Amino acid sequence: MSRVLIIGNTNQKYLPKWHELIQSADTIIACDGAIADCYESQISVDFLIGDLDSITKQDLARAEQDKLQIIKVDEQQSNDLSKALRFCQNLSVNKIDIIGVDGGKSDHQMANYFALLEHDLPVTLHLNDAIVIAVSKSNPLHYKSNPGVSFSLFSIGETAKVTIKGAKWELNNHDMSPSTMGLHNITAEEFLSINCENGSLLVFIDR
């Protein structure tokens, strides 16, 4: 198993726009009530994960009839996206893509960003206007791009020895704190490279 697609449950209902990600996934996970959107868009799901508080009785019955692997996690200390990412730690995964998390309540959106930081996994979260990637010592960023693409990075807590290469404004072993310092940089080369020795960064790259 190499590539996993996680589909979140928000009011972003139109999933076919992510056709390429859906087609390239080896395994598809629906977070709770997202199964309804998957059925509507005729997306074949392998796992249904969450506390199942957002799924209708009809969709749950259909999932059981379709023999989906249903993973119910009752604990309330994490959101459904974090539960799905935790489940992925038990799989042999090279790449995880996340869709269906645009919109919804602002606090839920923030929780989704922190879910990326909770699990040391190769994850890309896809928004309508950007992709979001968590960077740590064990998960550096090596991103193929074109010159002139805007991106921003934000330190979550104290982050040590941040290095940025392939950008208009580069850093070399620079310590960062939570601030607006990393807002609106621009790629200058074909590859953008970001890494750090300690701590975590969230990187937003424009589509």
pLDDT at residue 92, as a whole number:
85
Q: Is residue 150 domain-shared with residue 92, that is, in the same domain?
A: no
Q: Is residue 159 domain-shared with residue 187, that is, in the same domain?
A: yes
Q: Is residue 201 domain-shared with residue 124, that is, in the same domain?
A: no
pLDDT at residue 102, as a whole number:
84
pLDDT at residue 1, as a whole number:
57
Q: Last residue of a domain, which of 128, 145, 172?
A: 128
Burial of residue 116 (number of CB atoms within 10 Å: 0-12, 13-18, 19+): buried
Residues with Cβ within 8 Å of 19's Cβ and at least 6 positions away in sequence, in order, are none
| Nearest of 68, 69, 86 to residue 77 by alpha carbon | 86
Q: Is residue 147 domain-shared with residue 60, that is, in the same domain?
A: no
Long-range CB contacts (within 8 A, 24+) of 36-39? 37/7, 37/9, 37/13, 37/100, 38/7
Q: Last residue of a domain, which of 128, 161, 194?
A: 128
- Other Cβ atoms within 10 Å of 167 Cβ, number: 20
Identify whether the C-beta of residue 158 lies closer than 8 Å to the C-beta of residue 188. no
Strand 150-165 relative to strand 191-195: parallel, antiparallel, unpaired? antiparallel
pLDDT at residue 13, as a whole number:
61
Residue 118, both tokens: 């909770």
Q: Is residue 108 domain-shared with residue 160, that is, in the same domain?
A: no
pLDDT at residue 76, as a whole number:
80
Q: For every one of its 207 residues, what pLDDT tens digit does the chain have, with 9 covering 90 and above?
A: 589 999 998 766 678 789 999 999 999 999 998 999 999 989 999 999 998 988 999 999 999 999 999 999 988 888 999 999 999 998 888 999 999 988 778 898 899 999 999 988 999 999 989 999 999 999 999 999 999 999 999 999 999 999 999 999 999 999 999 999 999 999 999 999 999 999 999 999 999
Q: Is residue 47 domain-shared with residue 121, that is, in the same domain?
A: yes
Q: What is the pTM of this model?
A: 0.93
Q: Is residue 87 domain-shared with residue 47, that is, in the same domain?
A: yes
Please count the structural domains in the chain. Answer: 2
Q: Is residue 115 domain-shared with residue 33, that is, in the same domain?
A: yes
pLDDT at residue 54, as a whole number:
87
Q: What angle do CA 126, 58, 81 make, to 5 degrees?
A: 25
Query: What per-residue string of b and e applies to 23-61 under the rule 16 or more CB within 10 Å gives b?
Result: eebebbbbbbbbbbbbbebebebebbbbbbeebeeebbe
Q: Last residue of a domain, which of 113, 128, 143?
A: 128
pLDDT at residue 104, as a whole number:
73
Residues with Cβ within 8 Å of 137's Cβ and at least 6 positions away in sequence, in order, are 195, 196, 197, 198
pLDDT at residue 188, as a whole number:
98
Q: Is residue 108 domain-shared with residue 187, that is, in the same domain?
A: no
Q: Is residue 157 domain-shared with residue 66, that is, in the same domain?
A: no
Question: 196 lies in which domain range?
Answer: 135-206
Residue pointed to by tokens 């645009």: 102
Cα gap 26→92, rounded to integer Å: 11
pLDDT at residue 3, as a whole number:
95
Q: Is residue 140 domain-shared with residue 78, that is, in the same domain?
A: no
Identify whether the C-beta of residue 149 lies closer than 8 Å to the C-beta of residue 193. no
- Other Cβ atoms within 10 Å of 82 Cβ, number: 20
CATH code, 151: 2.60.120.320
pLDDT at residue 126, as a whole number:
95
CATH code, 30: 3.40.50.10240
Q: Is residue 53 domain-shared with residue 106, that is, in the same domain?
A: yes
Residue pointed to by tokens 């424009």: 206
